[in-house]
Chains A and B, each alone.
Chain A
């Protein structure tokens, strides 16, 4: 009996020792995360309730809570005749468009690289370039390739009869279709295509990894049963990819929704490409209003949270 309690106490103290060591190991990480992520995250909400402008920032007392109000939110939503809602719409169009296109391109690339061919590794390496290269340089090279006067793509397009247009700064390009005149959001479309180009490698790698894990006998069995290659793709390959496509969609959706760099560098959010991240930046530096800027940031984080929540619930239900 004494031995029993002794060993229990000893194991408890071992456990306690282990926990103590664990705390010691995680403390630096936790502290830095508290300092540069959690604390700012919370403080951002407070800032969004205070009337702070960039000019009075140095003198204002951040701990003065007498002026707390929702006025910044009101201003964010009603400014410029409700322009905010346009920005929200553009953000969704941009995010969903880029995400879907990047996934489709990634799937396409994964399918053609799945089976071996001479030079396959080199091709695979090249396919990752857009994703790993610095965003600043790829944004500038595309900007230059799409330049109205000297862009190589613009000039090649004129050879097939497309007049030279400024792809990144044309808000609406009239298209005549069946006698109807449609205004095509060209700049937004171009930015979405850029995103698809830049982020398809990410989807490509995931799809490729998944494709290579599909057992061969599945295909052999289907071939014996007389399924044609297209049928095999449709009934065997695609269903295997649903799960990974779901994860990819979620990840890319979240990251594209928050994206600032790409549009900022391509055209600064001009011509109907202003997304929420750009608007936050513009409130902060162009209109020098810290309070409204953080209000928009809070709204953006909330929208994202709600969308992700709905998506996860929906996925969970699908799986049931």
Chain B
């Protein structure tokens, strides 16, 4: 019997399978293609742009220098010269950029948590004048355009640099403070929606037992909020790791302070083979994908809980 019910289910089923294939294709293929092109010599890409997989010797050539880390064979010099990954890491300075990105991201995470945990706790649990205003303020700042903040901050940086003689533009640590403008609201917002789920009774019991508020926060609230704090830390890390606009505005002057996204963007010129550009892209993307696969559960929950900006 071909009832309407059955026809529609059949069609939906077919449509669903096709859709899943479509979505897998559009989400996974670009990353596969990035990997593919990062291994293939650019000359070969120009000749055979549609070669679907790198040849075995291409992969071997790109990865050969790994064997040279521990031994110093005579063929190593050539191996290092021919590898796209080594070229990007050593010649184009990506090792420095990795270090800078790691410093700036970890510092941003630490500072964000240091500021956001007490702040969010006060807003959710304590009663004080200006509390509502602060709640609204968080939301407002969350929506405010980064580029609009960029101009005055840029002007201040130039002025401070001139007046005090401290290097501001191209200073990794000064820029970390600015990164807080994009991470703090996210962190406050996410924690503010998590803290109320911790039972008040537990805190009140501890207060009656003679703990003061700070001890309560340290001994009860923070341990119970570890999943949320971990999520915030991961997101903050990812925001800082991926951040591009502020790096472009404030770090471009000083190549030694470039972060990975800025370093990669500066690599985008006619003289640089695309193979290197793709190797650089792989290097930036891998840590994010690894973090994502290890902590997927935290991250998907956090995304909807805090509506992480992007």
Residues of A within 8 A of B (CB): 15, 18-19, 21-23, 25-26, 28-30, 32-33, 35-37, 39-41, 43-44, 47, 52, 57-58, 62, 108-109, 112-113, 117, 123-138, 140-142, 144-145, 149-152, 155-156, 197, 199, 202, 205-206, 209, 228-230, 251, 254-255, 257-258, 260-261, 265, 277, 280-281, 284, 290, 293-294, 297-298, 300-301, 304, 308
Contacts and interface: CB of A to CB of B under 8 A. Distances in A.
Interface of B is mostly: helix
Contacts of B299: 128, 132
B292 interface: yes
A144 B277 CA distance: 10
Contacts of B155: 43, 47, 52, 57, 62, 290
B127 A135 contact: no
B118 A28 contact: yes
Interface residues of B, number: 92
Contacts of A142: 30
A240 B141 CA distance: 30
Contacts of B20: 112-113, 117, 123
Contacts of B242: 133-136
10 contacts: A19-B129, A28-B114, A43-B152, A57-B158, A145-B30, A156-B50, A202-B310, A229-B5, A280-B151, A301-B148
Contact of A33 (B127, B141, B274, B292): B141
B128 A22 contact: yes
B66 interface: no
Contacts of A199: 310
B28 interface: yes
Given A32-B177, A58-B162, A133-B289, A300 B148 contact: yes
Interface string B262-280: 0011001000001001101
B184 interface: yes
B245 A251 contact: no
Interface in B138-182: 141, 143-149, 151-156, 158-159, 162, 177-178, 180-181
A21 B122 CA distance: 8
A144 to B, nearest CB: 6
Contacts of A22: 122, 126-128, 131
Contact of B292 (A125, A155, A230, A293): A125
B261 A136 contact: yes
A316 B45 CA distance: 55
Given A29-B116, A33-B141, A229-B12, A202 B244 contact: no
